[in-house]
Amino acid sequence: MRFKLDENLPHELAFLFLRAGHDASTVLEQGLGGTRDSDLIAVCTRENRTMVTFDKDFTDIRTYPPAKHAGIVVFRLESQARDHVLEVAGRFLNSLPEAPISGQLWIVEESRIRVRR
């Protein structure tokens, strides 16, 4: 699967995604730091990449309807400490289906993953 990792995530997360066999690029690698959310999701859609972020704005399905995007994953964690994020992200990667998550919103928490289609 293809992912775009937001600038608010630990940069080590890209290596975790790559080791799991995914194509992962970061917002900062592409010089998109500080880009408006609407422009960033448009880039992800054009590149057919699932957006991965801490940004809760992406959970607003009226503004970002899942069906119109290549997938959105929002981490809603109690702690954004690097090691904690990497641990939860590892569990998330292990739970990914074989099929792409395009058109879906995944909200990843410590103890569960909620999926909106």
Residue 100 — pLDDT band, cuts 50, 70, 90?
confident
**Angle (CA) 106 82 12, round 5°:** 80
* Domain ranges (residues) in the chain: 2-116
Q: CB under 8 Å to 24, separation ≥6 — which residues?
A: 2, 3, 4, 5, 13, 14, 17, 18
Residue 108 has pLDDT above 80, yes or no: yes
Q: What is the pTM of this model?
A: 0.95
Query: Residue 89's closest CA among 27, 35, 28, 19?
Result: 19
pLDDT tens string 38-75: 999 999 999 999 999 999 999 999 999 999 999 999 99
Return the number of other C-beta atoms located less than 10 Å from residue 17's C-beta: 21
- Give 98's pLDDT tier (boundaries 50, 70, 90): confident
